[in-house]
Structure 1
């Protein structure tokens, strides 16, 4: 029995493609599984997203769509429910049922290394944020080799001005265009859109900030644990640090499946594209396509070419606590160019080799790059807010010594019930604070208000941040600055 048979009629709104029938749950109305682009299947595999086709009559928007094709997730609560499909370019909207238009819009870009995840996970349910007076949109975008891939045979098919390779980023931009065109139907303000994301989703946010194609589609940005010093891979030439081009990587993969022609590649079952998994930090999924992303993030910020919008950027206190610099991986390799003196100085700053091994990968990949981007953005004259998340629930079984990678997500969404373990009053207070700061920032470009501790603006109070602790938010000087200074000097030398 549908809700309309037991109570008030289901909410109906008209978007450009047709009429959507959503659901109301108390203070919030939701519309789920909404197509923002045509299914990228058949001849549209490895093509830029095309406009979503219109439909006749009412379209039910009571259930989420399929997640994008991806390998097993290993239990990440940010993945969402099956099924999965190449036909996955949908989004979900939560909006206050009683609207005082126009509302700020927050568009969430999920993480997962550009290989996993979706906007459909219960972790990212936008109802609790919408209750604070914003419209929340979560987005699915193509992943892995379906989203980040090129091959000379595919390039030969493209027109001279047709973008290629970076299809996941193209999808995200297409979703933002859809939000621009349809936000008003949900009570949202298309002139006040915040993009926010975590991990690979935050890497997407910083790429949106430097993307010519995304300029003007958003007005605030939040990057949660989103790298910043990483190097992208061009389509047809080696990366800046010498790795093979995206097309060369595509050729190497195609040889493993016996494909030489574009038709052969498009005929492959989607599941055949999952093995071996593309490498996120190693460059397979971080693409410089020349149109949607034209350069590396750090270089663009350093030159003042990023979007002139207010920015929240930050990291967690024990991001990759399990990762050691001796491991054979792209993350383990980022300290390989240290001189013996640089290494000795870092050992001293970390209190010895054990401290170095435990924390240096997190600092090299996340903490120093976040501070660096904050410094650059503030130097360029834009409002900037840096944070460090160090809330650790009593029920956390990990020996991390802090807040591990991705652990801030249920606090930002105020969805503590989705984490699968007991959470206490201090966690509820932390979630109330984070959701409050994030939604206030979306509304006015400044996270401060409602008697919360004042979050220092990074340009006005250089090298001061807000740390989310078990005792509550606290403004302070950036912790462990001596370590970060040594890492900054290392990056300056090698780049």
Structure 2
């Protein structure tokens, strides 16, 4: 069926989240290429390039298996990139065709932090080397995905390792001589979490990230780009009530926005009332509390990104992945089992329902890589067709197992709408009742709040 060109790709230096050990090597910039036997220079096939997630502090190409996707006659490439301080420490100092791939039909796809990376690639001023993108459960607009640079980080890590300096160049020179495991451990002990940032401007140096992620706007780059964007139905579901101790509504807003105490109180009370009314926080409200957590961290920022894609002329197809074979919540990363059978959640091929879902999901993802449309026609594996999403008609595919059907729907679930896409009054921002305060999420200012009055 396919030939695999594997390399024994080692992880980038990182902390193993299970053992707490420091693992990986700096010489990690490798890739795996999965190639169907029928691929050749005379028969070039669409290429899918996978960018893994992991919060920019963990992950590896070798965790993911491209063999399920490659069965659909695409070339799959999984790439390694450096994470943590070696990949994302912001400083204040300045070929596919060989594998039978079609250089004119390249799709990048990624999940979580990988999706945030793709979002940044879409707006980067560099020449674009891809033609389509699949953005799974992430965006550069997700809170915490994009940070202000800390130019003292290298100095602080060097000092943690016994080298005292106030000069970034000296710190970097020192760190380059130190075992990478020691650097990773020192960074972790200092509590650093490195992520993309707006880059310092230098003469004759081309920046990859030129804009704050909340204000990305470039219709010339986005227009006509095919995008397949979505989330799982229960991204951050938890049964741990400690997650909601104190006042979670106020705490979430306070963590990410610099607002006056009066505005924080009004906003958090309004949001609280929207989700749980006048009820006291208890385990009986676990579903509603999880809805708030998920909406704040994922659904709302991703939905804002989708609206901006559409407004800038992208060809957007949207999905919500809600399939679970055992009726458990469909957590963050749940769809990866059926696409890439990752080591942390491998596909059980003895489960016939899961295997059918894998065939369905890989068909949609590879259809998009081939045609720029996940459902170009109704087939046995995918017996539906999906319209493109527009600002006024938010068509999306609800991927579930109810009666074995996929559901093409034409408007988002009500809770997703209420967080910010009330187009009658201010497209792209806002939450709250008819009279109150609204947050402009793109510019982090307060201009009034509104939530649909039926629910507020």
TM-score by length of 2: 0.76
Distance 1:450 1:288, change over 3 A: same
Aligned to 2:454: none
Distance 1:117 1:329, change over 3 A: farther
Query: C-alpha distance in 1, partners of 2:325/2:116?
Result: 27
Q: Indicate whether 1:316 and 2:232 are aligned.
A: yes
Q: Please state how far the C-alpha of 1:416 moved relative to its aligned partner.
A: 10
Contact 1:128–1:415 (CA<8 Å) still a contact in 2? no
SS of the equivalent of 1:439 reads helix
Counterpart selection for 2:400 from 469, 476, 480: 469
Structure 2 spans left out of the alignment, 5+ residues: 201-206, 422-427, 432-438, 446-456
The farther-off stretch of 251-260 and 444-453 is 251-260
Contact 1:347–1:356 (CA<8 Å) still a contact in 2? no
Contact 1:233–1:288 (CA<8 Å) still a contact in 2? no
Distance 1:264 1:65, change over 3 A: same
1:44-193 correspondence runs (5 A): 64-74=8-18, 84-99=24-39, 101-121=43-63, 124-151=64-91, 155=93, 158=94, 182-193=95-106
User: RMSD over aligned Cα, in angstroms?
Assistant: 3.4
Distance 1:225 1:311, change over 3 A: same
Q: Indicate whether 1:350 and 2:269 are aligned.
A: no
Contact 1:317–1:404 (CA<8 Å) still a contact in 2? yes
Q: Please state how far the C-alpha of 1:144 moved relative to its aligned partner.
A: 0.5
1:188-203 correspondence runs (5 A): 188-203=101-116
Query: C-alpha distance in 2, partners of 1:318/1:231?
Result: 17
1:243-322 correspondence runs (5 A): 245-259=149-163, 260=165, 261=170, 262-275=172-185, 284-290=194-200, 291-301=207-217, 303-304=218-219, 306-308=221-223, 309-322=225-238
Distance 1:406 1:392, change over 3 A: same
Distance 1:282 1:410, change over 3 A: same
The number of equivalent residue pairs is 389
Q: Indicate whether 1:394 and 2:332 are aligned.
A: no
Q: Please state how far the C-alpha of 1:482 moved relative to its aligned partner.
A: 4.5
Structure 1 spans left out of the alignment, 5+ residues: 1-26, 34-63, 77-81, 159-181, 397-401
The farther-off stretch of 184-193 and 455-464 is 455-464
Contact 1:29–1:95 (CA<8 Å) still a contact in 2? yes
Query: C-alpha distance in 2, partners of 1:328/1:252?
Result: 32
Contact 1:456–1:466 (CA<8 Å) still a contact in 2? no
Q: Please state how far the C-alpha of 1:333 moved relative to its aligned partner.
A: 2.2
Query: C-alpha distance in 2, partners of 1:224/1:404?
Result: 13
SS of the equivalent of 1:385 reads strand
Query: C-alpha distance in 1, partners of 2:331/2:88?
Result: 27
Q: Per-residue displacement from partner, 1:270-326 (whole Å, max 9, x unpaired)?
A: 0122235569x997312222501111334124x536444111111111112235474
Q: Please state how far the C-alpha of 1:488 moved relative to its aligned partner.
A: 3.4
Q: Please state how far the C-alpha of 1:230 moved relative to its aligned partner.
A: 4.1
Distance 1:251 1:406, change over 3 A: same
Aligned to 2:363: 436
1:393-412 correspondence runs (5 A): 393-394=325-326, 396=328, 402-412=329-339
